[in-house]
Chains A and B, each alone.
Chain A
């Protein structure tokens, strides 16, 4: 075969590829979800971009569930739920920029690192996009409202208090925090609150482990600290990976009853450990309601229903929610125990 015919064939195949791509794309045109329209045709459709810290983990999936519920109820919402699957805050900023260009009406951000997304959020606001935060807050000048379920302060203190209560206030001994990466902004902000709280109690913080978002490593690190510190009485698992990992380690090393585990995770992930007694309390909030409330706030802001200076906000099935300053409050953190954990499914 001469080079010439090969070239011709090459061009032919390229053309085929190109048409295949074109066909493939246009074929998908029909399957693109159309916005959910309410009965009222005059109602303006509001596009809301809901940005989680990490897409693809159970915590945010349950938030998205609540958000979809609210969008269906309201009827005039086109909900976009997307976020970085690896939790890279840089990609969060890039998604905010893309959404701004594409004319999204409201962007609700759960910033994984507030500094990193700040510039993108400011730019979005300058372009007339309503920017709010949910789940975690950013600097006040980068968003209008924060749908607040818990501050770093209340999360950090909540975990330490639960541990002290469950152990008995006079109990003395070592505790260890199993975190995520050494660079995880959220976990580090909670640790900053937890350290003084632990210092002011009878507990002693032996060390902090950083297994990353790696389940095997979280399990291994927890096993090691259980063996290393004989006076260990408590483990804090402060990410949705390290909490189950720490609980599993306590069960596998046969320390259930001797080492108590607490932390942040969804009830569904922790049910089996609560029922086996390894974990007595799980600290979290109602994540489904959090997503639900966020969409209600977003809709009200976009349609001008949100009154400046109001002290309450009515959000569908949740009823009236308090507004303090620029924070819409979901309510206190929840503590799931043996008695109530089965009432929740998320």
Chain B
């Protein structure tokens, strides 16, 4: 019972256990699942989700939410393509990429401003942006795909440097920086204070406004970063990029054990959740579930989320009961 308790109590242990169990059982059916090439692909797919989840996690820690990242990614991809593609404006990559990052930060800051100064709940602002930005992207792309991104960018995002695409290196840097923000800085401690109890945060005199502006702008910036390092990997830029990405990111944050009302959560948990959510689909492929099984993929993904959510809640109650007992 001790082990079970521990697995339930610590989100990271539970997730690690589930990941190991899935990995082992799929490898039992087909050892190819654990081949180096496959693991590498898995890490590459995790990278953009990890990058953006780092931002959204901070947003959720402050008690807010951001469900606009998928549409923002599509808009930024379209704008980046228009700027640097050799069939469009043909700007230098070294001009277009910083511009993309800046635009992402600006949209994020705009979201933050509406939430803090405009006092509009973040779920409403980002719900509005989710629809509006997608429409805007389709409108400005005018039904034409964009290709012809600079070769150098394609090479770096597909094959990369030192054996890994730049998206993976970027993700590592972002994770380290975000980890340091959370644990090492006064800003990080403020995050938990604001999310945990707005009242007490105000009493200590922390600026909630500036903090929230920062987390939204940071998320916008990271969305831009993920766009720049991951989208050129795809064959072309189209209006449908990033559909459903916002829900994937939120799911990872929640499954990773970050409390949706803010104030509680660990970066490790979120990263493990990203790995888990990313590995379910390839795991099913390697289990060779067959033609009709393929159509159950979404149901199985949904069940995993449900399971994670229920166990977390039960674990939390156990924890509370222990506190009461002592």
Contacts and interface: CB of A to CB of B under 8 A. Distances in A.
Given A56-B239, A220-B282, A228 B291 contact: no
Given A214-B240, A221-B285, A252-B158, A58 B294 contact: no
A204 to B, nearest CB: 12
B235 A56 contact: no
Nearest to A251: B158
Given A182-B294, A272-B147, A215 B234 contact: yes
A224 B33 CA distance: 9
B325 interface: no
Nearest to A81: B143
A215 B143 contact: no
A61 B144 contact: yes
Given A220-B281, A228-B286, A252-B158, A58 B233 contact: no
Interface in A190-210: 205, 207-210
A247 interface: yes
Contacts of B230: 216
A245 interface: yes
Contacts of A182: 294-295, 298
A253 B138 CA distance: 31
A216 B30 contact: no
B234 A245 contact: yes
B234 A248 contact: yes
B48 to A, nearest CB: 8
B238 A57 contact: yes
B142 interface: yes
Interface string A220-237: 110111011000000000
Contact of A56 (B143, B158, B236, B288): B143
Given A227-B37, A228-B285, A245 B235 contact: yes
A208 B147 CA distance: 28
B238 A241 contact: yes
Contacts of B238: 57-58, 215, 241
B307 to A, nearest CB: 22
Nearest to B282: A224
B233 A219 contact: yes
Given A207-B290, A225-B285, A228-B32, A213 B243 contact: yes
Contacts of B138: 55-56, 85
Contacts of A214: 240, 243-244
Given A219-B233, A269-B145, A224 B286 contact: yes
Interface in A94-116: none
Contacts of A56: 138, 141-143, 239
Interface in B272-290: 281-282, 285-286, 288, 290
A269 B240 contact: no
Interface in A109-165: none
Contacts of B288: 207, 228
A182 B258 CA distance: 32
Contacts of A253: 37
A67 interface: no
Contact of B240 (A64, A210, A215, A244): A215
A220 B298 CA distance: 16
Nearest to A64: B143
Contacts of B297: 210
Contacts of A225: 285
Given A61-B142, A224-B282, A241-B240, A210 B234 contact: no
Nearest to B243: A214
Interface residues of B, number: 40
A31 to B, nearest CB: 15
Contacts, number: 107
A296 interface: no
B282 A208 contact: no
Interface string B15-41: 000000000000000101001011001
Interface string A266-280: 001100110000000
Nearest to A61: B143
Given A224-B285, A252-B158, A213 B240 contact: yes
B69 to A, nearest CB: 14
* B235, B239, B294, B297: most-surrounded residue (chain A CB, <10 A): B235
B236 A223 contact: no
Interface in A5-34: none
A107 to B, nearest CB: 20
B319 interface: no
A268 B236 CA distance: 11
Interface string A66-110: 000000000000000000010000000000000000000000000
A210 B295 contact: yes
Contacts of A248: 233-235
Given A55-B143, A225-B285, A228-B30, A207 B235 contact: no
Given A215-B238, A245-B234, A227 B244 contact: no
Contacts of A223: 41
B197 to A, nearest CB: 31
B285 A219 contact: no
A181 to B, nearest CB: 10
Contacts of A241: 238, 240
A60 interface: yes
A269 B235 contact: yes
A55 B138 CA distance: 9
A112 B86 CA distance: 34
B45 interface: yes
B306 to A, nearest CB: 20
A60 B290 CA distance: 33
Given A209-B285, A224-B38, 6 more contacts: A56-B138, A220-B41, A224-B286, A241-B238, A244-B236, A248-B234
11 contacts: A56-B239, A60-B143, A64-B143, A205-B291, A216-B234, A220-B282, A228-B286, A244-B235, A245-B234, A248-B235, A252-B158
